[in-house]
Amino acid sequence: MTAEAPTPHRIATISVLTSPLAQPGGGDAGGLNVYVVETARRFAAVGVQVDIFTRAAAPRLPPVVELCDGVLVRHVPAGPAREIDKGALPRVLGEFADGMLRTRGEYDVVHAHHWLSGRVGALVARARGVPLVQSMHSLGLVKNAVLPGGEGSAPMLQIAGENAVIAAADRLVANTAQESDQLIALYGAAPERVHTVHPGVDLTLFRPGSRSQARARLGIPEDAVVLLFAGRVQRLKGPDILMRAAAEVLRADPDLGHRLVVAFVGGPSGDGQADPDQLTKLATDLGLGAHVRVEPPCPHPELADWYRAATLVVVPSRAETFGLVAVEAQACGTPVVAAAVGGLQTAVRGGVSGVLVEGHDPVRYAEVIRELMHNPARLATLRKGALSHAAGFGWGEAVDRLIAVYRAAIAGVRGQP
């Protein structure tokens, strides 16, 4: 450490899209929430204070909530004190920025998560004379490439906002090398400002355990073949692909009729919120009603049980900047069948910790699933590989690398004329 690159003492983290106190797995709460909370906890553990600014989205919320020693969640009044559609959030960003600027105290760096937060962060960072570090978490141009003009695609307002934030940021943090390449190729980000920092998982929570005990706690038969989807239920995440693949598996292996369990743990999100019963209806249409369990988002200890109970975790996302679910599952010793897209190609080591599937054809997913179900030795090898691969994704290394990014950003701002 040098005088030109000091360690930050206090960070202003911005999460406009969703509160860090929300339960991940439904609505707009997902990996972003986990990332913000887990990094903040670990920053605090090494003596770096964190204030997380989020919108006051409910009446009578306390202005400040202590998440843990050294981490405060600050509720900023901006727009109505209730949940609003994220399409309306751009209209309250100015009010949000004003609320942040009225907060007393000095910050060494502003770290914004998602483009909406970045719009606020750019204003606050410049007003305070500190650097803006930006994490996008999703990219509209990537989403539009897989959902062209359809439900869930990103509007042009978002694309324009993303471009503005990427241009304004002093440093950009990408979850994977693929995302770094996308920031540079699609948005013209300066390569020297882009840093790749893999997210982590809580390896003390997501760890191997007794499958029998997990299944007993969840009410799953001991001899079941369990295919698990965990996360927000929206088209981008591909829950329909798993449902159709499961129907193909059952068609090809009718003897599985008394053993197959297809579990979806998560709530409707995005376009899925307009049709919260879509999974149940699709299951009925495909003749899978008796085999499907649709469960609400759950706390991490229960989610870890679901991972341990699963035969395979299936992550058929049409786009994914990282794929936290895939790493969490592998940390519990469960192999993953995932789409060979975006960050999943980093989160899953194909052929070692799971199988990466090209394309999104349910028939191909069914073939992969059936092949693994009928090859216990292969499954056992993948379980060992899953544990080994996930062990490299602890939060400690991620936080160390983020602090290095902050140091570089601070030094860069102080070095400007």
Residue 330 known to bind ligand: no
On the CB side of 236, CA atoms within 13 Å amount to: 28
Residue 308 known to bind ligand: yes
Give the separation between CA 128 and CA 331, rounded to whole angstroms. Answer: 41
Give the separation between CA 412 and CA 341, rounded to whole angstroms. Answer: 34
Residue 7 known to bind ligand: no
How many Å is the maximal CA-CA distance in the chain? 73
Q: What residues contact residue 384 under an 8 Å CB cut-off, 6+ apart?
A: none
Give the separation between CA 396 and CA 394, rounded to whole angstroms. Answer: 6
Q: 248: closest CA among 198, 200, 287, 197?
A: 287
Residue 213 known to bind ligand: no
Residue 272 known to bind ligand: no
* Helices 177-187, 156-168: crossing angle, 10 deg rounding: 100
Residue 132 known to bind ligand: no
Residue 114 known to bind ligand: yes
Distances (CA, A) of 376 to 30, 187, 299, 310, 355: 32, 45, 30, 14, 15
Place of tokens 């699933």: 369
Distances (CA, A) of 325 to 180, 269, 302, 355: 21, 16, 14, 15
Q: Which secondary structure element, helix H or strand E, spans residue 65, and what is its range?
A: strand 64-68
Residue 384 known to bind ligand: no
Residue 171 known to bind ligand: no
Could you give the dihedral angle defined by the CA atoms of residues 354, 355, 360 and 365, in that order, rounded to the nearest 10 degrees? -100
Structure tokens at 383: 């379980």
Distances (CA, A) of 176 to 81, 102, 168, 172, 372: 35, 35, 21, 12, 28
Residue 30 known to bind ligand: yes
Residue 112 known to bind ligand: no
Residue 33 known to bind ligand: yes
Sign of CA dihedral 392, 18, 334, 344: negative
Residue 138 known to bind ligand: yes
Residue 310 known to bind ligand: yes
Residue 259 known to bind ligand: no
Residue 143 known to bind ligand: no
Sign of CA dihedral 143, 400, 16, 294: positive
Residue 29 known to bind ligand: yes
Residue 237 known to bind ligand: yes
Binding-site annotation: residue ranges for UDP-N-acetyl-alpha-D-glucosamine:
23-24, 31, 232, 237, 320, 328
Which segments are annotated as binding site? 23-24, 28-33, 86, 114, 138, 158, 232, 237, 307-308, 310, 320, 328, 334
Q: Which residues make up each annotated binding site for Mg(2+)?
A: 307-308, 310, 334
Known binding residues for 1D-myo-inositol 3-phosphate are 28-33, 86, 114, 138, 158
